[in-house]
Amino acid sequence: MHTLEATYHIASSPEQIEARAEALAIEQSIEMPPSAVRQPKILREVLAQVASIQEVETGLFRVTLRFASPTTAFETAGLLNVLFGNCALQAEVELVELKLPPELLSAFAGPRFGISGLRRLTGVQSRPLTCTALKPQGLSPAQLAELAQTFAKGGIDIVKDDHGLTNQAYAPFAERVPLVQKAIAEANARTGGHTLYAPMLTGGPKTLLERLSIAKQAGVRVVLVAPMLLGLPAFEELVAELEMAVLAHPAFAGQRIAPPLMLGRLFRLLGADATIFPNHGGRFAYSRETCLELAEAARAPWAHIRPALPVPAGGMTVERVEEMVSLYGRDTMLLIGGNLLAAGDRLLERTQAFVQKVAASAGRTNG
Amino acid sequence: MHTLEATYHIASSPEQIEARAEALAIEQSIEMPPSAVRQPKILREVLAQVASIQEVETGLFRVTLRFASPTTAFETAGLLNVLFGNCALQAEVELVELKLPPELLSAFAGPRFGISGLRRLTGVQSRPLTCTALKPQGLSPAQLAELAQTFAKGGIDIVKDDHGLTNQAYAPFAERVPLVQKAIAEANARTGGHTLYAPMLTGGPKTLLERLSIAKQAGVRVVLVAPMLLGLPAFEELVAELEMAVLAHPAFAGQRIAPPLMLGRLFRLLGADATIFPNHGGRFAYSRETCLELAEAARAPWAHIRPALPVPAGGMTVERVEEMVSLYGRDTMLLIGGNLLAAGDRLLERTQAFVQKVAASAGRTNG
């Protein structure tokens, strides 16, 4: 079947749901009254179909629509338009699931590194990976480099920029990135470690290319990108030419698209090798179930699309390492930022404790 | 003051709102516990401040935060990160207002044409403008060109692609755009009119440049762009080099950002000359008040940022022309799509009726 299936949650009364579902099918495909369409072929081949309607709870329905794949033009913007273009403006509609037919799926390459590529880059074979963030905003490149060096000495696998670090005057990209990269390389040389630095890459296409070239020249091999800040078509095109691994950050990803679909499957489809998301019990309200679904969406087998590494984050602590490893298993990267920094003068020790806990927990996990 | 002010609606209990507002200020600036920040200067100069908290209704508060402008890096991605990066993932937070200090505002050029530029391009001096859409999806380039020619003969000012038309195999951009542009030019030559064609421009940066060059070569002078589908930094950069007028389409703009701010001020700030939005009483649920606020946000004086043309749309009919003109005034573009197409064989007549109604209504309006 050449059909793309998209599933929505729609808030509606039982009396109106059939008409509401039909209206959504029209909105997302031909966007005009079917009675005004003069070509029967378009009604047969382009107009989306309501495949099923199920009540989820009182006033909420699960509606699956079938779209003709060619309406997506087999490209990112076209796919997003079909899935959530106009209905992004309809507050009663949430996009929750997606089923891509083979000919559409084959238009997307997915992660270029994936979990195995990130393991190769970091030299970590069987345990979860560790990650931390350079912050706060306002530090100078030299201060950030010093922090990064301590993290690298402590054995962190990936040290990323705070996503808020773009190109502020107090830490310009062109100055910050080579300095931090160098500080980490020095630590690696001393410890024999393989810590990687992931700078935050933002901007319109031109700015992005300039920053990318600075990063490449500095020897950077992983970048942090917020796909929704960049624009998803720009993200997909960037990854295709990047030759670096990509950590996806969820900043600005506030559409009414279920997090497992948005941060898990869509970011992965478009090329994220790892996807950062707010773990339950931190500063964000995702439930444990949503987090597990998201991790599953990032890692589950999916045709030729490589698995991406789930990265639970957002107010995590060293104290929670064992619980997180037992929840997410080995193919995970734990991201702890502020809780390490809160150690002050004992930053190196807290970092080492994090790294050791992750290594130890992994021995007890088969996941 | 070098402060950027952003106002949010936050759902919270009265007991928790102070802590919640403070947490938001931290999340959107330093993103770590202030107690763990070792540089007093960062707490003074980078940490955002809660400026005010007001109860809007039971359980909902209006919270204004003050940010240091330099944290935005004076660029689009940085600004979005500060305003709505992480809190995009917090369902209880909506971004509703924005106040940019002069040094930040001056980093953005706004619309290059604006209302007066669009009037110059279309040769329409004092009445509202008219717009329609080529649809449905599934028509061939020849069929779309025929439709476009009829609309041009009927005197429409701007004929835009349906936003769903990207580069589908049944109407590839490279074939569709020159053909439609030519059909409209022929009609203009016969009628002495100035109808413009606005093709839908999408894709990652490379694809975008290829399509843009096709459009330029065909003589296109206005494009339709969905800023959120493109990515806002890519949109801003595109406009800076475009030398064409830009109609912004709201597809995929489903963030929890109040529509007057998102489709009105933000799209305008980043360069939209006109902004399409769902009018009240159509297929979308925006209230009359929201629509008026949005139109005001698009047009109100704002330092050097030119006014943008509000374009109410989404299930509008020829019957509503007078009401819409009296609501929005002259500096408006009315967009009617499906309701014209529903006329079938009488498409030319219905189009002419639309154009004449707009011209006649304007005589009775001072707005």
Tell me how close the Cα of A235 comes to any Cα of chain B, in angstroms. Answer: 8
* Count of CA atoms in the C-beta half-sphere (13 A) of B52: 8
Query: What pTM did the predictor assign?
Result: 0.96
pLDDT for residue A113: 98
The mean pLDDT value for A160-181 works out to: 97
Rounded to whole angstroms, the Cα distance separating B253 from B228 reads 6
CATH classification at residue A278: 3.20.20.110
Question: Do B121 and B251 fall into the same domain?
Answer: yes
- Decide if the complex's ipTM is over 0.90: yes
Is residue B367 scored above 60 in pLDDT?
no
pLDDT in tens, B125-155: 999 999 999 999 999 999 999 999 999 999 9
Nearest 10 degrees: Cα torsion A292, A297, A300, A305: -160
Question: Do A318 and A287 fall into the same domain?
Answer: yes
State which residues form the domain around B45.
Answer: 3-105
Note whether B33 contacts A70, CB cutoff 8 Å.
Answer: no
Tell me how close the Cα of B71 comes to any Cα of chain A, in angstroms. Answer: 6
Note whether B77 contacts A202, CB cutoff 8 Å.
Answer: yes
Note whether B80 contacts A235, CB cutoff 8 Å.
Answer: no
Q: Does A254 touch chain B (CB under 8 A)?
A: yes
Question: Do B251 and B320 fall into the same domain?
Answer: yes
Listed residue (A300, A259, A253, A288) closest to A114, CA to CA: A300
Note whether B42 contacts A82, CB cutoff 8 Å.
Answer: no
Spatial neighbors of A131 by CB under 8 A, at least 6 apart, are: A156, A157, A158, A159, A160, A247, A311, A313, A333, A334, A335, A336
End position of a domain, from candidates A105, A131, A164: A105
Interface of B with A in 173-202 (CB under 8 A): 202
Residue of chain A minimizing CA distance to B254: A88
pLDDT for residue A282: 87
Note whether A231 contacts B226, CB cutoff 8 Å.
Answer: no
Listed residue (B361, B300, B360) closest to B327, CA to CA: B361
Q: Does A76 touch chain B (CB under 8 A)?
A: yes
pLDDT for residue A366: 47
Is residue B299 scored above 70 in pLDDT?
yes
pLDDT in tens, A230-287: 999 999 999 998 999 999 999 999 999 999 999 999 999 999 999 999 999 988 889 9
The mean pLDDT value for B237-255 works out to: 96
A367 pLDDT band, cuts 50/70/90, is very low
Q: Which site among B94, B168, B286 would you substitute to test the A interface, given the most A Cβ atoms closer than 10 Å to its Cβ?
A: B168
In chain B, what percentage of residues exceed pLDDT 70? 98
Question: Do B61 and B142 fall into the same domain?
Answer: no
Instruction: Confirm if A67 and A7 have CB atoms less than 8 A apart.
Output: no
Average pLDDT, chain B: 96
pLDDT for residue B364: 64
The number of distinct structural domains making up chain B is 2
pLDDT in tens, B166-207: 999 999 999 999 999 999 999 999 999 999 999 999 999 999
Tell me how close the Cα of A326 comes to any Cα of chain B, in angstroms. Answer: 25
Question: Do B97 and B121 fall into the same domain?
Answer: no
pLDDT in tens, B75-109: 999 999 999 999 999 999 999 999 999 999 999 99
Is residue B319 scored above 70 in pLDDT?
yes
Rounded to whole angstroms, the Cα distance separating A47 from A32 reads 10
The H or E element spanning position A326 is helix A321-328
Question: Do A56 and A158 fall into the same domain?
Answer: no
Average pLDDT, chain A: 96
Is residue A364 scored above 70 in pLDDT?
no
End position of a domain, from candidates B39, B73, B105: B105
The mean pLDDT value for A154-162 works out to: 98
CATH classification at residue A55: 3.30.70.150
Residue of chain B minimizing CA distance to A71: B168
Note whether B229 contacts A80, CB cutoff 8 Å.
Answer: yes
